[in-house]
Each structure stands twice: as C-alpha cells, then as structure tokens.
Structure 1
C-alpha cells in the first residue's frame, strides 16, 4: 500500500521537527493573552518608514485626485447649466408658438426644404406657398414637428435659438424664380 506524503513525513519525523522549531521561535508569553486589565495586549504594527519619494508620490496622487474631482464637478455644473438654458429656450419658443401656428390640415401642396442635413417637407396651400417663398412666412422646428409661422415669429425664434429656425427665405437675397419657387429648389 502506498503511503501519502503526509504519512511519510510524519514517519520520518521531519514534520514534528518543524513544529518544534516553530514553537521555539515564538516568545514564551502569548501576545494576545489577557493582561491584568481585561483587555488583550497587542502592540501596534509598525509600518516601515516611508521614504521622501513615497511621501511625494502620495501627495501627488492626492492632489491629482482632488483636481480630477474638481474638474468633474465643474463639468457636471456646466452641463446642468447648459441643460437649464436649453429648457428655458425651449419653453420660450413653445410659448411663442402657442396659437401662432398656421399649419392647415387640408393643405395640398408640398414645400421641400433642407434642415439638419436632410430634405424635409411641409404641406401648405397655394397662398402659403407663395408667402413662404417670398419670406413672409417661415418654418420652425418644434418638438419634432415643423410649424408654419409668420416672419416676425420666425425672427423671434431665430433670436431665441437659431437652430430651431428651419426655413425663412430672405427676399433681398434674390434667387426666387418667376414661378415663385426659390432657385435652389429647381431640381
């Protein structure tokens, strides 16, 4: 029968010998034995003395952590401020557009325009199309929809947030053909 390594070590006496050596190395009194005060006596672990280089490195890490935390806080505050301003602009535009939309449900003509890098469309009637092409009307993007408004409302929206003004033809710029359609839409 094959004996395990443990059994072989015990038989040889090496294991017992190692245990005896460990006992001899330990001090005679137990460090965690209760003292006369009822509290276990234990000595605080002493850390090895840190070199000046380690202290400087620790300070550098602490300064870096504080700087990064301050930068994150500033970035969060700036983002919150931008979001607040955007909400205010959106509310102003919504208030301005309430009751001033000229969109008609029975409009039968399509007016194409470029907005956000894509060709968009809005249904208008013949009179609105002529006024839109001469700059008397404008188109404002609000909440994913395109709202037909007067020139003055469109200019007020442009003053609040120019990104929301989808179309306002400048009659002084020319470019309107004989048929009342801007030249850039002649395709």
Structure 2
C-alpha cells in the first residue's frame, strides 16, 4: 500500500522536527488570573524597542516641547500686546481729559466716514467752519466722538492713529470742487 506524503514525512521525523521548531518560536502561554494569584506574569525577555520606535518617540517628545514653547511664546506676546494697549489707552485718556470741545446745545451735524460707516458729530456753526478748515479734529474715545483741537488730534494720531476719526487737511480746506467735504463718501 502507498503511504501518503504526510505519513512518509511523519515516519522520517521531518514533520515532528518542524512542529518542535514552531513551538520554540511561539511564546509560552500566559497564565490567566486564576493561575497566577492575580499577579501579572513575569516576562523575563521583554523585547527591546527598535531603533525606529525610539526615533518616533523622540520625534513626538521634540514636537511636544516645540508646541509648548510656541504656546508660551504666544501667551507672552499676547500679554505684551495687552500691556501696550492699556498704556496707549491710559495716555489717550490723560490727553483727552477736559479737552473735548463738544457742546450740549448745538444745532448742526457734521457727517464723516469712519470705520467704513458714515458717522456724525454735533457742532455749532463756528465749530463746523473750524472743523472743515482743519483747525479742529474728531477723535473716537469710549464709544463717543469727541471734538478736539488740531494739536490734540495730532497727538492722538501719534499715539494710536486708529482713534483719529476726522482731521481735515488744512491745505485743501477739506472741501472739494463740488462743495462737498472730501471725507464724505456719499
């Protein structure tokens, strides 16, 4: 009778040898919680980390350090900007104290463009003439438009140019050929 290939291999001992080799390569079965009294199994041969895994771990650590440094630098810059803004605000407040020329009983309105919108300040006839001639200016402060002298308007421009709402150029007088103030965008 003809033996199968499997039987022939078993008789020759090659198959048994292959099975023994596979057993040596496989890790030993780990005892469950019932076998080891609840203790984790002891692993005498912990596999060493490959060079690639170590490089990846270093890269993550370097990235985390870099991100932390960037966050810290951004926080410091934000704090510095806030400090500068507070100082400018205090300087402008000190500069404008008692120097606003706005009056309660006025009969005219002067319109001007500021922040992409048409704004207005209430003035009397003399203030309107001075404002159009460049002798007066308008400063935005604390949500209001304050009428101030040309010198104060220049000082506000030097501190923070964004707060200067209107200052007509005295050379042109602020009025175009059509008689409409140059700063109006009708």
| Range of TM-score over shorter length | 0.7 to 0.9
CA RMSD of aligned residues (A): 3.0
- Pick closer, same or farther for the CA change 1:44–1:147 going to 2, 3 Å: farther
Which position in structure 2 is the counterpart of 1:132? Answer: 131
**CA distance in structure 2 between the partners assigned to 1:71 and 1:175 by the alignment:** 48
Q: CA deviation at 1:172?
A: 1.1
- Pick closer, same or farther for the CA change 1:79–1:46 going to 2, 3 Å: farther
**CA distance in structure 1 between the partners assigned to 2:53 and 2:63 by the alignment:** 15
User: What's the TM-score once normalised by structure 2's chain length?
Assistant: 0.74
Name stretches of at least 5 consecutive residues in structure 2 with no aligned partner: 1-29
Which position in structure 2 is the counterpart of 1:78? Answer: 77
Which position in structure 1 is the counterpart of 2:149? Answer: 150
Q: CA deviation at 1:149?
A: 0.3
- Pick closer, same or farther for the CA change 1:183–1:81 going to 2, 3 Å: closer
**CA distance in structure 1 between the partners assigned to 2:40 and 2:176 by the alignment:** 100
Higher mean displacement: 166-175 or 152-161 = 166-175
The number of residue pairs the alignment matches comes to 156
Which position in structure 1 is the counterpart of 2:160? Answer: 161
Q: CA deviation at 1:129?
A: 0.2
Correspondence 1:115 to 2:107: no
- Pick closer, same or farther for the CA change 1:151–1:184 going to 2, 3 Å: closer
**CA distance in structure 1 between the partners assigned to 2:58 and 2:179 by the alignment:** 72
Q: CA deviation at 1:108?
A: 1.2
Name stretches of at least 5 consecutive residues in structure 1 with no aligned partner: 1-24, 34-39
User: What's the TM-score once normalised by structure 1's chain length?
Assistant: 0.73
Alignment of 1:54-93 (within 5 A): 54-93=53-92
Q: CA deviation at 1:96?
A: 0.5
Q: CA deviation at 1:43?
A: 4.5
